[in-house]
Amino acid sequence: MTALNKHQLVFSIIIPSYNYAKTLGRAINSILNQGGDDYEILIIDDGSTDNTPAIAGEYCKKFNNKIKYYLQENQGPATARNYGAKLSLGEYLFFLDADDEMSPNSLKFLRKRLADSEHPDVFFGDHISTSPDGVASYSFTNPLPESNEKRFSAYIFKKLNLSHCAKFVHRKVFDKISYPVELRSSEDIPFMAKLLAIYECELVRFPMTVVHKHEDSLRHNTSYAKEVGEKVVDHIFACTALPIWAAKYEEAYRARRCLSIFRTLYMAGQRKESLFFYRRAISLSPLAALRLGYIRKALGAWLSD
């Protein structure tokens, strides 16, 4: 459990941004509307080619004691988040995507919770999801299992509805883990898995973020799916800070990742390429791969090969 350092800011809100000038102001305003003087905003520009520097510059001039802007060469969101964590001064860090918003009263809610004498390393919360046509829905987070092992396994096997965008993490977590900079997509998965395996976590029943969904999400981009492949698994289980018990989940999770990529490629019409990942999944976990739905897709892919 973590105690607050009274000599530091309480919160650092880090906004990694790449060509989101159109929504950056909305993200910043959602934080400024929280009120209070116990937080800072760090904008980490990942080499944007749009009007991001000008937008960020105007906010820095107006709120020079609260907002800071940093520019880096384009290296991806993982590097931007790690850089923001390194530069931050707050006790708890919050990573807000430049196209999303912090929910009203989020900091007020956390301030009340932090009035207690002891605190977990990570706060997870709910979020509000907004579709491209403006329809909003409330996304509840599943109750957290009691042990780190159960949380870890539930997360990697998709039995725990946790959102990467709805969490506050104590800055000390970056002493042991960080975002995998080699990944341009799905970089949140290894980070979240390690958080759940190593640190003390608490669920607060409050929406932390308004997530704006958009159709060009990288998670559904087939080129990124092929590029990432099994690297997500490698980045989780190569972590030396993981408890010993984590190793027994590697093979089953690797098979699940392969099946996920197989399904993504299959649905995108890339049938021939999808079969590689299906065969790989069978070699790792025949029981998982030989489910009727997967068999049907595999036969369809094989017949079209």
Residue range 53-71, pLDDT digits in tens = 999 999 999 999 999 999 9
In order, the DSSP letters of 147-211 are SHHHHHHHHHTT-S---TTSEEEEGGGGGT----TT-SSSTHHHHHHHHHHHS-EEEEEEEEEEE
- Are 86 and 195 within one domain? yes
Residue 218 has pLDDT above 50, yes or no: no
In a domain, 42, yes or no: yes
- Are 171 and 251 within one domain? no
Q: Which range among 40-49, 73-82, 87-96, 218-227 shows the weakest confidence by mean pLDDT?
A: 218-227
Domain count, the chain: 2
- Are 34 and 106 within one domain? yes
What is the β-pairing status of strands 136-139 and 122-130? antiparallel
What's the pLDDT tens digit per position in 103-138? 999 999 999 999 987 899 999 999 999 988 889 999
**Predicted local confidence at residue 13, as pLDDT:** 98
> What is the span of the domain harbouring residue 250?
243-304
What is the β-pairing status of strands 136-139 and 201-212? unpaired
Q: Which range among 16-25, 103-112, 220-229, 242-251 shows the weakest confidence by mean pLDDT?
A: 220-229
Q: Which range among 30-44, 81-95, 107-121, 205-219 shows the weakest confidence by mean pLDDT?
A: 205-219
Share of the chain above pLDDT 90, in %: 78
**Predicted local confidence at residue 303, as pLDDT:** 83
Residue 6 has pLDDT above 70, yes or no: no
What is the mean predicted confidence (pLDDT) over 204-222?
A: 78
Mean pLDDT of the chain: 92
- Are 257 and 137 within one domain? no
- Are 79 and 214 within one domain? yes
- Are 149 and 25 within one domain? yes
- Are 193 and 251 within one domain? no
